[in-house]
Structure 1
Amino acid sequence: MGLLATAAPASAADDAPDSNPALRKPILVGANPGLQLFDTSGSCTAYVSTWQVEWSTHGAGNALVLWRPDGVRVVGEDPHLALWLADHFVRHFPELEGLPWPSPRFHRSTVQVRLDLASGLQARGGGIDVRMAEVLDRRAFATDQFPLGGVEHSLSLVLGPCGRARAVVDGRIQPGEISRGGTPDRPSSSAFLAAAEVWRA
């Protein structure tokens, strides 16, 4: 009885999922490759977030989210899912920090995604065509401190940085180049595969 009597009661804050990662539940399972292009001054010219959702609290399916200085285009068959991916996830990604986020324009279209950790990515739909190749590495990543809209989320995935990538929008190759860095043992790239991805909140 002594130990139980002196133990401090758990506070409501300690029981909140955002403060206790062990209480967080999956909200999305799937894959989310990303491609960011930069001009010679280092400014972002385009960011494409590809989604292959096996299960989520908002349904399953594929989607593409394209950010450019002239606006945000969201492509998918289910607007409920696709716009949730754009607003809950993509708009809060670090790649877009400090960049404007106008109201997304939804385009209903089938999105085809072919993701292979050995060879790369092919994804297209709604006038957007994304290709990534030359997978440089494959490594696991996990964190319990990924904020989305001020709320901490847990994220785990397998990352595959790529050495080559391009995005074509409405028949035009998007300007800019990918950014590569890191070391030979741990390369990084602004074109990356992200598979076996689980978000918890």
Structure 2
Amino acid sequence: MGTALGAMGFLAAATPAAAAADALVDDPAPRKPILVGANPGLQLFDGAGSCTAYVSTWQVEWSTHGAGNAFVLWRPDGVRAVGEDPHLTLWLAEHFVRHFPELDGLPWSAPRFHRSAVQVRLDLASGLRAWGGGIDVSMAEVLDRRAFATDRFPLAGVDHSLSLVFGPCGRARARVDGRVQPGGISRGGTPNRPSSSAFLAAAEVWRA
């Protein structure tokens, strides 16, 4: 199932030892914050393990391209980017989402921008509800909460620094234009360190 088992694929592969090693890496002096906020993700799979949808939810408190909420939705029929600010929303899609490990090997088309307000309610205790522009995402049953940091998250071949609080979820659903999206989430890991293709990502800081 590709990168299903974990947060943004990359987080699933990071062991506690690897995360600790990253924490000891000297702070790359030239890197400065480019985004502060939250970025929950939801990836769905069919019975054969093929991705049926990936929804990247954004709650941007500050960035070099502005602030606001947005969705980036990948489906086999194309990419939809929803938000009030096309400058911010399309940057999130092209700079970040298209390079996330979840989409490795999947076709990427030019995002179709849909101007709409996006509402996001994120709670590390209970989950997520976000909606706008015909997309409605919910996540519940938060299985764990743990910190993650690395100075080696590649986007388009360029290492970025990333820190966040990660919360894999046991239940999730996405509706697009009123229809429940097919497929289900993938869960794995261990009882002490569960992973899921539905995850919260809060207190998120990207530096480049």
Q: Same fold (TM over 0.5)?
A: yes
Query: Which of 130, 136, 150 is residue 123 of structure 1 equivalent to?
Result: 130
Alignment of 1:148 with 2:150, yes or no, is: no
Match of 1:188 in 2: 195
Match of 2:183 in 1: 176
Alignment of 1:97 with 2:104, yes or no, is: yes
Q: Counterpart of 2:107 in 1: which secondary structure?
A: coil
Larger gyration radius, structure 1 or structure 2 = 1
Alignment of 1:84 with 2:91, yes or no, is: yes
Match of 1:197 in 2: 204
Question: Counterpart of 1:91 in structure 2: which amino acid?
Answer: R
Match of 2:30 in 1: 23
Alignment of 1:71 with 2:78, yes or no, is: yes
Match of 1:42 in 2: 49
Q: Counterpart of 2:29 in 1: which secondary structure?
A: helix
Match of 2:68 in 1: 61
Question: Counterpart of 2:111 in structure 1: which amino acid?
Answer: P
Question: Counterpart of 2:205 in structure 1: which amino acid?
Answer: V
Give the Cα–Cα distance (whole angstroms) in 2 for the partners of residues 142 and 189 of structure 1: 18
Name structure 1 gaps, 5 residues minimum.
1-18
Name structure 2 gaps, 5 residues minimum.
1-25
Q: Counterpart of 1:82 in 2: which secondary structure?
A: helix
Q: TM-score w.r.t. structure 2 length? A: 0.87
Quote the offset at 1:150 in angstroms.
1.0
Aligned length, in residue pairs: 183
Question: Counterpart of 1:99 in structure 2: which amino acid?
Answer: L
Quote the offset at 1:22 in angstroms.
3.0
Quote the offset at 1:132 in angstroms.
0.1
Alignment of 1:109 with 2:110, yes or no, is: no
Match of 1:7 in 2: none
Question: Counterpart of 2:160 in structure 1: which amino acid?
Answer: H
Q: Counterpart of 1:83 in 2: which secondary structure?
A: helix
Give the Cα–Cα distance (whole angstroms) in 2 for the partners of residues 99 and 142 of structure 1: 26
